[in-house]
């Protein structure tokens, strides 16, 4: 059976129809055409599907699209301001904090949520804060450095 | 599969009671969605309780705290008053999964999923929590230790849903703590865990205690003998030794790749002793 869902995604009103058992991730990718969030595992372990729902960081693979009715969703597609990249996005490029890039949208969304709660995290806090995001390529060090550098810039330090 | 998101717990309970076929309550979905997607369950009906009245409330009441069924780990961690009163419970709930999982996971879901390794459950057992249940014909409140009956099983009757988890009021000079052992530093399932809650008298002697162990039996265990071993003491080495021995004696763990029987039994005693020390010092004991 299908169900109609009304949401706000990256500040745009988005209404869509989906199956009742469909995940928010599948709806974003296959119905709405927002393919930034990736499916790495589908079981909440890798964080590649990270988005925020009403300000909360979640794995969109573990949310039913139907649950998003009336919610405000933010995805990687809304992170840059037009052509101007978010400081985290810029620092990921500068520090070469990505290789294949499949984990990157999830890391960026999770890192933004982390810095919102804690603008000046220690290395340990960054590693704990991003423990729900897996990367098979970079070995994490460059990601941690990129987040530290972006945090510094965002604090104006 | 049909998806429903009723606005009251009563409506949700009636829907659940009337449902033909496989019906499931949906809170944060961090267990349910994994099972759904892997085909472990094939629901005919999923009842989302996050839109019911009060589901996201953490209320301070005359008798303690009432925590709504949809309150997430992240929300618990942000509640300063609750964290100050029940640091062990909040710590335990905050150990569940990643930041992403924390954004959704609930203590009610952790409890009803029925894992003996569920992180918040030993801390809630130790705290003496109760659960307020909504049913199709009315409500009832039961002690939390009556809920789990085995791996994946609970004593909830058909149509019953946890509406709130109730934590008692903190008496003066009391404290709680939760510790788990995992081979990694995060994102892992407890191999063994222990929750301890202690109340001291004016002189700093243990007046009351509750000690619970996780992942060492088919359900989380409340170990009365371990509590008895420290009541009337100032948690000296002899008392801690007895506490550990009582915990080890209560263990009935399984042997698997995550831990042998011997390892789990030994670590249960160690963690219970350490958690007791933290709870004791949080209660103001020296
Ligand atoms: C990546 C990952 C890591 C995890 N790490 C941990 C961990 O470290 N420690 C740990 O303990 N768990 C862990 N979990 C398991 C899970 O996150 C927890 O058990 C969580 O607390 C479940 O809560 P929920 O609200 O998401 O439950 P749901 O998935 O919504 O529900 C779980 C079960 O309880 C039932 N239920 C839910 N709410 C109610 C209610 N109010 N009344 C009656 N029945 C109800 C549901 O029908 C279902 O059977 C992890 C899961 C994932 C995906
Ligand atoms: S795809 Fe959602 S966590 Fe891996
Ligand atoms: S860059 Fe390839 S998985 Fe992270």
The residue with greater pLDDT, B286 or A66, is A66
pLDDT at B188 over 90: no
pLDDT digits (tens, 9 = 90+) for B191-201: 999 999 999 99
Rounded average pLDDT over B74-83: 98
CATH 1.10.150.120, chain A: domain bounds:
87-155
For A63, name the nearest residue in chain B, comparing CA atoms only: B29
| Minimum distance, in Å, between the CA of residue B2 and any CA atom of chain A | 6
With CB atoms and an 8 Å threshold, state whether A56 touches B74.
yes
Residue A157 is predicted with a pLDDT of: 73
pLDDT at B257 over 90: no
With CB atoms and an 8 Å threshold, state whether B30 touches A62.
yes
Residue B269 is predicted with a pLDDT of: 97
pLDDT at A52 over 90: yes
Residues of B in contact with A42 (CB under 8 A): 37
Domains of chain B by residue range: 2-168, 174-282
What is the SS3 string spanning chain B? CEEECCCCHHHHHHHHHHCCCCEEEECCCCCHHHHHHHCCCCCCEEEECCCCCCCCCEEEECCEEEEECCCEHHHHHHCHHHHHHCHHHHHHHHCCCCHHHHCCCEHHHHHHCCCCCCCHHHHHHHHCCEEEEECCCCEEEEEHHHCEEECCEECCCCCCEEEEEEEECCCCCEEEEEEEECCCCCCCCCCEEEEEEEEECCCCCEEEEEEEEECCCCCCEECHHHHHHHCCCCCCHHHHHHHHHHHHHHCCCCCECCECHHHHHHHHHHHHHHHHHHHHHHCCCC
With CB atoms and an 8 Å threshold, state whether B187 touches A59.
no
| Minimum distance, in Å, between the CA of residue B253 and any CA atom of chain A | 26
With CB atoms and an 8 Å threshold, state whether B99 touches A63.
no
CATH number assigned to the domain with residue range B174-282, chosen from the 4 options 3.40.30.10, 3.60.21.10, 3.30.390.50, 1.20.120.1200 = 3.30.390.50
**Second CATH level (architecture) for the domain A2-78:** Roll (3.10)
CATH 3.10.20.30, chain A: domain bounds:
2-78
Q: What's the CATH class of domain B2-168?
A: alpha beta
The percentage of chain A sitting over the pLDDT mark of 70, rounded to a whole number, equals 100
Mutate to test the pocket of ligand 2, among A49, A53, A102, A135 (most ligand atoms within 8 A of CB): A49
Q: Find out whether the beta carbon of B163 lies less than 6 Å from any atom of ligand 1.
A: no
| Minimum distance, in Å, between the CA of residue B283 and any CA atom of chain A | 28
Candidate from A1, A57, A67 with C-beta closest to B48:
A67
Q: What's the CATH class of domain A87-155?
A: mainly alpha
Rounded average pLDDT over B206-224: 97
Residue B174 is predicted with a pLDDT of: 98
Residue B186 is predicted with a pLDDT of: 77
Q: Find out whether the beta carbon of B106 lies less than 6 Å from any atom of ligand 1.
A: yes
């Amino acid at each position: 059976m299908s169900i109609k869902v009304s949401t706000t995604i990256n500040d745009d009103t988005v209404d869509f129809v989906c199956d009742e058992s469909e995940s928010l991730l599948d709806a974003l990718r296959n119905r709405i055409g927002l393919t930034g969030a990736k499916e790495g595992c589908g079981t909440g372990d890798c964080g590649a599907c990270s988005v925020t729902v009403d300000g909360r960081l979640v794995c969109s693979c573990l949310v039913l699209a139907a649950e998003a009715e009336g919610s405000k969703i933010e995805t990687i597609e809304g992170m840059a301001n037009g052509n101007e990249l978010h400081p985290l996005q810029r620092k990921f490029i500068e520090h070469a904090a990505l290789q294949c890039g499949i984990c990157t949208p999830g890391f960026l969304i999770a890192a933004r949520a982390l810095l919102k709660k804690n603008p000046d995290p220690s290395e340990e806090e960054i590693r704990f804060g991003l423990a729900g995001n897996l990367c098979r390529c970079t070995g994490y060090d460059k990601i941690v450095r990129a987040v530290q550098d972006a945090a510094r810039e965002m604090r104006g330090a | 599969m049909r998806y429903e998101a009723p606005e009251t717990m009563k409506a949700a309970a009636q829907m659940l009671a009337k449902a033909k076929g496989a019906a499931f309550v949906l809170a944060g979905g961090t267990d349910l969605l994994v099972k759904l997607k892997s085909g472990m369950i094939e629901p005919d009906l999923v009842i989302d309780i996050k839109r019911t009245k009060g589901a996201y409330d953490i209320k301070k009441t005359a008798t303690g705290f009432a925590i709504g069924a949809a309150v997430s780990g992240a929300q618990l961690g942000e509640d300063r008053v609750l964290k100050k009163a029940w640091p062990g419970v909040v710590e335990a709930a905050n150990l569940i999964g990643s930041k992403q999982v924390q954004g959704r996971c609930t203590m009610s879901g952790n409890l009803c999923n029925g894992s003996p390794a569920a992180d918040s459950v030993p801390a809630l057992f130790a705290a003496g929590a109760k659960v307020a249940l909504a049913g199709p014909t009315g409500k009832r409140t039961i002690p939390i230790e009556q809920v789990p009956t085995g791996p994946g099983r609970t004593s909830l009757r058909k149509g019953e849903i946890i509406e709130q988890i109730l934590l008692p009021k903190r008496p003066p000079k009391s404290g709680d703590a939760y510790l788990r052992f995992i081979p990694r530093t995060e994102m892992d399932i407890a191999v063994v865990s222990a929750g301890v809650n202690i109340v001291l008298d004016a002189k700093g002697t243990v007046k009351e205690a509750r000690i619970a162990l996780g992942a060492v039996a088919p359900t989380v265990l409340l170990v009365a003998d371990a509590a008895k071993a420290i009541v009337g003491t100032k948690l000296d080495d002899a008392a801690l030794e007895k506490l550990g021995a009582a915990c080890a004696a209560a263990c009935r763990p399984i042997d698997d790749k995550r831990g042998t029987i011997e390892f789990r039994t030994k670590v249960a005693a160690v963690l219970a002793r350490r958690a007791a020390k933290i709870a004791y010092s949080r209660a103001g004991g020296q």
